[in-house]
Copies of this chain bind each other. A is one copy, B any other.
Amino acid sequence: MDNPTELIVPERGLVSRRIFVEDEIFRKELDRIFTRAWLFVAHEDQIPNNGDYVVSKMGTDAVIVTRDMEGKVHVLLNTCTHRGMKLCRNDMGNARTFSCPYHGWSYSMDGRIVEQPGDLAGVPGFSTYYHGELEKKDWGLVRAPKVHVYKRTVWASWDPQVPTFEDYLGDMRLYLDYALDGRDGSEGNNEMIGGIYKWRVNTNWKFAPENFIGDNYHDISHRSVDLVGIGPSGGRGRRDDEPDAATTIGFPALGHGLIGEPPHYAEPEYRPGWTLDEEAAAYDRRNYDRRVEKFGDQRRVSMTVGTIFPNMSFHGRQPRTIAVFHPISPTQMEMWRIFLVDRDAPESVKEAARNYYMSYSGPGGLTESDDMENWSYATESSKGTVSRSIYFNYEMGLGHAVELEGIEGAVENGVFTEENARIFYNRWNEFMNAESWDDLVPVKKEDAE
């Protein structure tokens, strides 16, 4: 092939390997993507009570997600504004203030006694040593200006210009809802199993969202676990039977995409699931019936897995999880995983889910460990001088996307295709080239007029 010079060549389905290994590009990503996009930061179950906090990450920045005394959620840069000490070195807890170990500046989590949580609440010697001359209002913790809680998930952006979370999601929201709503369709009925997997993988972070945005093609890499069989109804494979209508759906203007089912207006015929556990099987059936009842002939969607640009992916069905890919360096990420069950599911159903999820995902998951091998050695293998000069191939199904009816701004691409990955890298390219949100295709521009 003749050698292109651009990093992304949309019309040919080419992506330069340089974006997976080069430091300069990585630093630009941090600057142009991770300070602008909406990023997943936490699940509300990590901070159920007022005063609760949990640490998280946005790009390479450490943040604290807090719930103030009014119950409102905030996202604060985890670094003392005085001399930079990592303010909170606990992973989680409950507090009224954060007090800095170095010189004792303290910051409020309490929306009542100061204007904003994260405000500088206590400065030892303020009136004496400082002669009252510190403009305390200016020295609160750096706050993410945009924070949004959506069906128990918490998102934030550093960019005051970022569109609303709903506009940022577009109709991808319907598919996110499928994961966050209850199995019977009940709104936001999800609960996080205690604990998060956090682990380091020597891979460029983009291998993960690219994979989860719609890579059915790599099923073959999971043949070993398929042979063994870990699905919740026994037998071979990793899951219960999925709907026949499965396809890939992408949002070209937004960078999101998924594997799942197009809008439909009736529940497909019931296929028994979770049959290894009697209660879980009954619960599964019950939920089917409830969905039939609840949705009637209304539009509904369902999905297996998808990515919200840039670095959050989620599984909607089996397992039901949220994954986040935190960039560490061009060739390292820290991956996080959270698992969801229905809040009101019977204990035994939750337990069946927990056991299944752990066997599937995370560093010890029988499925996911093989993904880690692939992503890390694909990264390793792209570092060489010759190797980094060539392009990855994303030609599968190029030009075969069709508009998807019933979902705004979506295309449907068939089960096996790389359209969604192309959508992801095109959006990546737009972010990298944009000077600000003005240059990014305004989300739902028409609505705004």
Contact = CB atoms under 8 A, between A and B. Distances in A.
Interface of A: 1, 17, 20, 27, 30-31, 34-35, 58-62, 77-87, 89, 101-104, 124-125, 128-131, 133-135, 138-139, 142, 158, 215, 217-218, 220-221, 370, 373-374, 377-387, 390, 392-393, 395-400, 414, 416-417
Contacts of A392: 82-84
B82 A397 contact: no
Say whether chain A's binding surface is mostly helix, strand, loop, or mixed.
loop
Nearest to A390: B142
Count the copies: 3
B103 A373 contact: no
For A62, A83, A384, which residue has the most chain B Cβ atoms within 10 angstroms?
A83
A381 B59 contact: no
A86 B379 CA distance: 8
B378 A84 contact: yes
Contacts of A414: 129
27 contacts: A1-B135, A20-B84, A27-B385, A31-B385, A35-B386, A59-B386, A60-B384, A61-B386, A61-B387, A62-B384, A77-B384, A79-B381, A82-B392, A82-B393, A85-B381, A86-B378, A101-B374, A102-B221, A103-B215, A103-B221, A104-B221, A129-B396, A130-B397, A133-B398, A134-B396, A139-B393, A142-B390
A125 B217 contact: yes
A395 B125 contact: no
A234 B103 CA distance: 25
A95 to B, nearest CB: 18
A374 B378 CA distance: 35
Contacts of A390: 81, 142
Contacts of A128: 416
A130 B87 CA distance: 52
A102 B83 CA distance: 46
Given A60-B383, A89-B377, 19 more contacts: A27-B385, A35-B386, A61-B384, A61-B386, A79-B381, A80-B378, A80-B381, A82-B392, A83-B392, A86-B378, A86-B381, A101-B370, A101-B373, A102-B378, A103-B221, A125-B416, A129-B414, A129-B417, A134-B395
Q: Which 6 A-B pairs have the closest CB atoms?
A: A61-B384, A129-B416, A86-B381, A86-B377, A79-B381, A84-B378
